[in-house]
Amino acid sequence: MSILTFKGGVHPYDGKELTKDGQVVEYNPKGEIAIALSQHIGAPATPIVKAGDEVKVGQKIAEASGFISANIHSSVSGTVKKIEPRLMANGGKVNCIIIENDGKYEEVEIKKPKPLSELSKAEIRELVKEAGVVGMGGACFPTNVKLSPKNENDIDFVIVNGAECEPYLTSDYHRMMEQPEILIEGLKVSLTLFEKAKGIIAIEDNKPEAIKKLKELVKDEPRIEVKQLYTKYPQGAERMLIYACTGRKINSSMLPADAGCVVDNVDTMFAIYDAVIEGKPLIQRIMTITGDAINKPQNFLVRIGTNQSELIEAAGGFKEEPEKIISGGPMMGFAMSSTDVPIQKGSSSLLCLIKDPVSAVEESNCINCGRCVDACPENLLPSRLAKVARQGNMEEFEKLNGLECCECGSCSYICPAKRNLTQSIKSMRKDVLASKKKK
């Protein structure tokens, strides 16, 4: 089998050995939970419960408030205490429904949908919407919208993103190893919407066991193929993944559907399966709790709204006080000021590091070595872009195609002068996009 890839990229230490082995452990929260009304791209959901209401597991507690929005369901049974802003992992505050968990986990009655073969496409999309499914790789785009491109006949590929190229993360790997049949069933549900499309399960070649297992399971599935990707960061970024799997290119102003592709991550495929086959809403996800500061790094099946501090305790607490805690992976995640924040649908990992690899080094002058250019998967000139970004030169930034940056962090990672290129480019991108919106 050929090994697919893209130009550029880097090879950071992957840290996956910390949590690759062992089984996923289900964790049930102890105290109150905080379920954010905005944990997806688009308009925040509108609460449909109030203080004092009793709720059950799986009950809808907030409704999508627009085309790009998502329903929210309770992950515990108990009493709604209040609705108030709470701190999130990214440092911002978001309105949350606070529920006193009664620890009984009483479930709302769930009506199992009709068999897949009897469901219309509209019914499938409605079930995905009703279940509040969003992209769980971090983007959190409502999945029913993604599954409704302008012309469904133009979709040639439904790609399952099993690359999991971010260092330290192993939640997708565990899903693929522990429940591969459900992943395949979720993909089959998506393929029902696109009759012309082929299904691709794309996995980096540092997960040979998962590749072997899934290849065996799809050997008699004419519409599904497992593709092996070269292990290189950011192989799982949407544009790089599409290029590696299909040879098609997209830019920042295009959607995957413009290249005939729909891309969903592994956990999202599970949520699609649960929604359409079981009629269950999205209330749980797998999260990797890891890093050298954690006593027992591992993966947990967690309920949305659980406080992240509880998971650190469940993983044996800190071995040593971490200098840095990151929500997500080390390349694209963000530093957290507090772990007293709830898990959201897009929370993939909590990474706790004894030493902060960034604060320990100081930037020095660019030596024009060109390594950032070689590493950039978007063929950009990161050193030039960072320079014009620091000068605040929006016009030049756009001329140099700065908006095409996917903020992967490869340039900063590879730079021997430890220049904080990504941060400068990222801030400027934000400013340029904001100024375009204003106009």
Q: Which residues bind ligand SF4 (CB under 6 A)?
A: 366-372, 375-378, 380, 382-383, 405-411, 414-417, 419, 421-422, 425
The residues near 190 (Cβ < 8 Å, ≥ 6 apart) are 147, 158, 199, 262, 264, 269, 272
Q: How far apart are CB 102 and ligand SF4 at their closest, in Å?
A: 46
Give me the least distance between CB of 8 and ligand SF4, in Å please: 7
Which CB, 149 or 329, lies closer to ligand SF4?
329
DSSP string, 143-209: HHHHT--S-GGG--EEEEEE---STT--HHHHHHHH-HHHHHHHHHHHHHH-TTPEEEEEEETT-HH
Q: Which residue has the tokens 């949908």?
A: 113
Nearer to ligand SF4 by C-beta: 226 or 389?
A: 389
Taking a C-beta distance cutoff of 8 angstroms, is the pair 322, 48 a contact?
no
Q: How far is the CB of 413 from ligand SF4 (least distance, A)?
A: 8
Concatenated DSSP letters of 96-115: EEEEEE-S--PBPP-PPPPP
Tell the smallest beta-carbon distance from residue 412 to ligand SF4 (Å).
7
Q: Please name the residue that has the structure tokens 């998962």.
A: 210
**The one-letter amino acid at 175:** R
CB nearer ligand SF4, residue 217 or residue 335: 335
Hunting for tokens 């960061």 — which residue is that? Answer: 233
Angstrom distance (rounded) from CA 66 to CA 69:
5
CB of 173 to ligand SF4, least distance (A): 24
Residue whose pair of structure tokens reads 């990672």 in the numeric block: 413
Ramachandran angles phi, psi of 307, nearest 5°: -75, 135
Token pair listed for 1: 């089998």
φ/ψ of residue 303, rounded to 5: -90, 135
As measured in angstroms, the least distance from the Cβ of 252 to ligand SF4 is 10
Tokens standing for 199? 């299904």
| Smallest separation, CB 230 to ligand SF4 (Å) | 17
Query: 354 with 293: CB under 8 angstroms?
Result: yes
φ, ψ at 108 (rounded to 5°): -70, 150
Task: Return the structure tokens found at 125.
Answer: 């999309």
Q: CB of residue 358 vs ligand SF4: minimum separation in angstroms?
A: 15
Shortest distance, position 120 Cβ to ligand SF4, whole Å:
41
Residue 48, sorted as left (phi over 0), alpha (psi -120 to 50) or beta, turns out to be: alpha
Indicate the residue among 66 and 416 with the shorter CB distance to ligand SF4: 416
Closest CB to ligand SF4 among 353 and 414? 414
Residue 261 vs 405, nearer CB to ligand SF4:
405
HSE of 147 in the Cβ direction (CA atoms, 13 Å)?
29
Q: Which is nearer to ligand SF4, 130 or 404 (CB)?
A: 404
**Angle subtended at Cα 434 by Cα 428 and Cα 437, rounded to the nearest 5 degrees:** 145
Pick the closer one to ligand SF4 by CB: 91 or 416: 416
Closer by beta carbon to ligand SF4, 19 or else 383 = 383
Q: Which is nearer to ligand SF4, 254 or 369 (CB)?
A: 369
User: Whole-number minimum distance, CB 404 to ligand SF4, in Å?
Assistant: 7
Q: How far is the CB of 234 from ligand SF4 (least distance, A)?
A: 7
Residue located via tokens 């954010």:
36
Rank residues 174 and 419 by Cβ distance to ligand SF4 and give the closer one: 419
Dihedrals phi, psi of 124, to nearest 5 degrees? -60, -50
